[in-house]
Structure 1
Amino acid sequence: MKKTVVLDIVALSSRVIGEHTPFLKQWIDSKQKAIVEPVLPAVTCSAQSVYLTGKWPTENGIVGNGWYFQDECEIKFWRQSNKLVQTEKIWDILRKENPDFTVANLFWWYNMYSTADYAVTPRPLYPADGRKLPDCHTQPMGLRDRLQSELGQFPLFTFWGPNTTIESSKWIAEAAKKVEEWYQPTLNLIYIPHLDYNLQKYGIDFSKISKDLREVDDLAKDLITFFENRGIQVILLSEYGITSVNRPVHLNRIFKEKGWIQVKNELGLETLDAGTSAVFAVADHQVAHVHVNDPSKLAEVKALLEKTPGVEKVLDAEGKKDYHLDHERSGDLVVIADADSWFTYYFWLDDSKAPDYARCVDIHRKPGYDPVELVLDPAIKIPILKIGAKVLKKKLGFRYLMDVIPLDATLVKGAHGRIPESDLDKPIFVSAKGEDLDQKIEAITVFDLIIKAIKD
């Protein structure tokens, strides 16, 4: 089997490859490139799971970055156990053919408790005093200490949130090099998230994202050169492209006004109680799973959604089959935004009653995806003083609330999740010259192409 690296540069699309990415443009021009017709929803967990299983969400079960766990009556995002993926992975199949095959998974999602030989993924520490500390989880467990002794602590707080920088992607890249030097896996899966951040924050505005493009270009150059100099073939791909948006759509607020959302008063603030709500939406970028706990309301809910500004399409049972989303984890209805819109998780009608986590970076407690976490509240006049005071409390061991995120969804200018109209905004797949690669491929075809590259 041929040693292979699959480099996943999130949000890399044909639209952003050009003058600000000179290395990538030249390297891609020397290879074969295909446009990937993305899975719906075009989000990280669903896309990666399709690539690694060759199965649609209807079979692998990954219908989004999170979903409503019906047996627990809880909405959970960004779970990490690989047991949630319900079909075989690419490495399981290749290992059956060759017991010497090994795989390293550097930050692709559902990376804990899998059958991968080597794995590294973010996993904060949560001491009993309420602190959140940067850390990672690895397989084997000792790899964590070895990497952090060489590279320093994984920079979690630059991985997501208003303080995101290239540093987390650099750490991942250096970790991938170390894993190659120490273990020489047959397949090395590497996830580089840097472009995801400011493209969601600003949309396709080159005056604001050109620095990010140059940074990821330099990082790609370093990584690709490193692996190619070791005689390892590199496949480059992405999961989705980001497009500019201007309209947030608050589905749960619409349901709240109809009296369908049940909230619980917690110290004067509202939290969503999904198990007793008649209708609620699990918002995930430009796609939302709408659960209708009262079946008598299904037709009424569908009609309401179809006339909601910003909604392009509502998938019922038959529609979900068309998009390979007919799985028990999906909502009773799946809603797709139009090109200018995206869905918030917001369910409160009065900001003074928003839950305390709404103003924090809190990806696990929020009942939906929240890209506003990338933005520092512009109402904070001297951010460095407010944040510095909270960090000081943290270091002194006091309880603190890092409530620095605004509640203004209009600040988000980029989104993904729907299938865009233009091929320029779709993900890409790049491999070596000489292969018979179609100009456009289905998302599940990526699985077959990776296997073919390794076995040729």
Structure 2
Amino acid sequence: MPEQTVIFVSMPGLRRRDLQHMPRLSAIAGAVADLVPTFPCVTSPVQANMLTGRTPQEHGIIGNGFYHRDRRTVELWVGRNGFIEGPQLWERLTAAGVSSAAWMTQNIKDAAADYIVTPEPIHHPDGRMDLWCYSKPDGLYQRLFNDLGHFPLMNYWGPMANIKSTEWIVNATLWLIQRERPQFNSIYVPHLDYAAQKFGPNSSQAIAACAEADGQLGRLFDGLAAIGAADPTILVAGEYALTDVSRVIYPNRVLRDAGFARIDERDGAEHLNVAESVAFAVVDHQFAHLYVGKPEEIDAVAGLFEGIDGIANVLIGRERAAFHVDHPRSGEIVLICEPDTWLAYYWWHDDAKAPPFARTVDIHAKPGYDPVELFFDPATKSIPLDASLVKGSHGAPATRPDQFAAIISNRPLPSTSETIRDVDVCQHLESIV
């Protein structure tokens, strides 16, 4: 293989302490440091930080989703690369003549990478869904499907999430490197997220997940050697670390009870009407963007959350700049939790009036991230409506060592410091390609 192969694995939830359960990753760890994510410490912003070298208020990815004020709709997991503002690593690699591939990276559709694969299931009017992936160039996913079968989306998120999705990603990465030889390969592997959210980041299940992920990394390393990439440069970044949580807050219930959130009843179910609400929350793990349609009500809305146990910060206007989220897409108010607390999107008080999508895995219909989708209620054969089930979360500012992720490489890291910021990863990636 004539060019140097670079493997960049984005593995949310990976911490230094996890290396004791990951012998294959530990074996290549020539350099290890703490990775300090920029708030908000969730996947879409942190990946954008690492691939642009800029903060959320500069590149515009202020969460895993946001409210489109022009369309008056909420959209999570927006997918399209055009939402990232400013230059990205992909364009710089292309300009330098370096070929690149992106596997499951957030906000990657239409990016300048040469090869892209990311989930894009086909939804039919009758509710059926067919497995499929967006790919670049056209026809790439069809070739992968022919040789490897479908990407197992049900094992990537939801109550059936497990190591099978990571196994497919590893197989597909090796398949592409063997045939097309991309020099830079970015791989998103969220396996550690599942058990850490369900059972807690230090649970026996989370430790078992580390071993499973390590097994797949070992397959990747062995596979690279088998196809001729015997000495690749490897960088594994943990994105963020999860903390144990024992408390959940429901901002949309607070706003509803105060008369700010508009709730419509249809067919016996209650629906949040974001277009007609004075204020509502787009919750995202341990923070939320509160969108307030009437400027004169901002202080009143903010006051509802001052003093609530579990809420660490209530940011208004320019106060958001100190936390890197002073951007036009941000809510007029940003809530930040204490590390032991997370935020659920629910607005109903009676589960009998929950909208139908609440009991399903539907990441696009819900105006907020819902980790309860990882659970299954056998009695109702659906997703339960018990937010207290969640035992791990992330997103709050990383101010304590237990909120730091890990960054690991088989080559020297960009600094001799014990800590590296996520915004410094981009320059390092450019330097090693």
Which of 346, 369, 389 aligns to 1:411? It is 389
What is the alpha-carbon distance in structure 2 between the residues aligned to residue 299 and residue 111 of structure 1? 37
Matched, 1:53 2:52: yes
Residue deviations 1:225-282 (CA, integer Å, cap 9, x gap): 3336613211111211111101111011011111111012221211111111111111
Q: Which residue of 1 aligns with 2:298?
A: 298
Aligned to 1:149: 146
Matches within 5 A, 1:215-254: 215-227=212-224, 230=229, 231-254=231-254
Instruction: Compute the displacement of 1:309 (Å).
Output: 1.8
* Residues 249 and 343, structure 2, Cα contact 8 Å, conserved in 1: yes
Give the aligned partner of residue 338 of structure 1. 338
Task: Indicate the SS of the match to 2:129.
Answer: coil
Equivalent-residue separation in structure 2 for 1:286 and 1:75 (angstroms): 18
Instruction: Report the residue type matching 1:86 in the other structure.
Output: E
The answer to whether residue 166 in structure 2 is matched with residue 164 in structure 1 is: no
**1:135-214 residue pairs with structure 2 within 5 A?**
135-214=132-211
- Give 1:11 shift: 1.1
- For residue 5 of structure 1, the aligned residue among 2, 7, 16 is 7
| Unpaired segments ≥5 residues, structure 1 | 381-385, 387-403
The AA in structure 2 aligned to 1:140 is P
Residues 26-84 of structure 1: per-residue CA shift (max 9 Å, x gap) = 332xx112212211111110000111111111121100000011001111101111111
CA deviations on 1:427-447 (whole Å, 9 max, x unpaired) are 222223445522212221011
How far is the alpha carbon of 1:209 from its aligned partner? 2.3
Q: 1:431 aligns with which of 403, 409, 423?
A: 409
In the other structure, the counterpart of 1:22 is: 23
Choose 420-429 or 108-117, whichever is displaced more: 420-429
Aligned equivalents of 1:123, 1:433: Cα separation in 2: 35
Taking the aligned partners of 1:416 and 1:92, their CA distance within structure 2 comes to 30
Amino acid at match of 2:432: A
Alignment of 1:288-437 (within 5 A): 288-377=288-377, 379-380=379-380, 404-437=382-415
Match for residue 272 of structure 1? 272
Amino acid at match of 1:119: I
Contact 1:52 1:447 in 2 (8 A): yes
**1:48/1:109 contact within 8 Å kept:** yes
Distance 1:209 1:435, change over 3 A: closer
Cα distance in structure 1, aligned partners of 2:78 and 2:190: 17
Q: For 2:299 and 2:319, how far apart are their aligned partners in 1?
A: 14
Matched residue type, 2:70: D
* 2:423 partner amino acid: I
Deviates further, 141-150 or 434-443: 434-443
Instruction: Report the secondary structure of 1:50's partner residue.
Output: helix
CA positional deviation for 1:220? 1.1
The equivalent residue for 1:397 is: none
Shift of 1:352: 1.2
Instruction: Check whether the contact 1:227–1:234 (CA below 8 A) recurs between aligned residues.
Output: no
Letter in 1 for 2:114: D
C-alpha contact 1:46 1:57 (8 A) present in aligned 2 = yes
Q: Which amino acid aligns with 1:225?
A: D
Query: What is the TM-score when the length of structure 1 is the normalising length?
Result: 0.90
Answer yes or no: is the 8 Å Cα contact 2:36–2:240 preserved in 1: no
Describe the SS at the equivalent of 1:62.
Answer: coil
Alignment partner, residue 441 of structure 1: 420
Taking the aligned partners of 2:413 and 2:407, their CA distance within structure 1 comes to 13
For the residues of structure 2 that align with 1:291 and 1:424, how far apart are their CA atoms?
A: 31
Relative distance call for 1:435 and 1:372 in structure 2 (3 A) is closer
Conservation of the 8 A alpha-carbon contact between 2:195 and 2:201: no
Change in CA separation of 1:212 and 1:435 when aligned onto 2, cut-off 3 Å: closer
Displacement of 1:91 in angstroms is: 2.0
- Write out the 4+ residue segments of structure 1 that deviate beyond 6 Å after TM superposition: none
Distance 1:307 1:436 in 2: 42
1:15, 1:425 within 8 Å by CA — same for their partners in 2? no
Counterpart of 2:264, as a letter, is K
Q: What is the aligned partner in structure 2 of residue 400 from structure 1?
A: none
Quick check: 1:76–1:367 contact (8 Å CA) kept in 2?
yes
The alpha-carbon distance between structure 1 residues 207 and 340, as it changes in their structure 2 partners (threshold 3 A), is: same
Contact 2:196 2:203 in 1 (8 A): no
Stretches of structure 2 that go unaligned for 5 or more consecutive residues are: none
For 2:310, the aligned partner's letter is G
Query: Which stretch shows the higher mean deviation, 433-442 or 308-317?
Result: 433-442
Indicate conservation of the 8 Å contact 2:359/2:385, yes or no: yes
User: What is the TM-score with the length of structure 2 in the denominator?
Assistant: 0.95
Q: How does 1:32-181 map to 2 (within 5 A)?
A: 32-96=31-95, 98=96, 100-181=97-178
**Cα distance 1:373–1:261, how it changes in 2: closer, same or farther (>3 A)?**
same
SS in 1 for 2:384: coil
Contact 1:103 1:187 in 2 (8 A): yes
Q: Distance in 1 between matches of 2:338 and 2:352?
A: 30
CA RMSD of aligned residues (A): 1.6
**CA gap 1:111/1:436 in 2 versus in 1, 3 angstroms:** closer
* In structure 2, distance between residues paired with 1:164 and 1:435: 32
> Could you tell me how far 1:22 is from its partner in structure 2?
2.2
1:34·1:428 contact (CA, 8 Å) conserved in 2? Answer: yes
Overall identity of the aligned pairs, in %: 36
- 2: CA distance, partners of 1:370 / 1:435: 35
Query: 2:339 touches 2:394 (CA, 8 Å); kept in 1?
Result: no
Higher mean C-alpha deviation, range 335-344 or range 197-206: 197-206
Question: Is the 2:14–2:406 Cα contact (8 Å) retained in structure 1?
Answer: yes
Cα distance, 1:111 vs structure 2? 1.9
**Distance between the aligned counterparts of 2:346 and 2:126, measured in 1?**
29
CA contact (8 A) 1:201 1:412 kept: yes
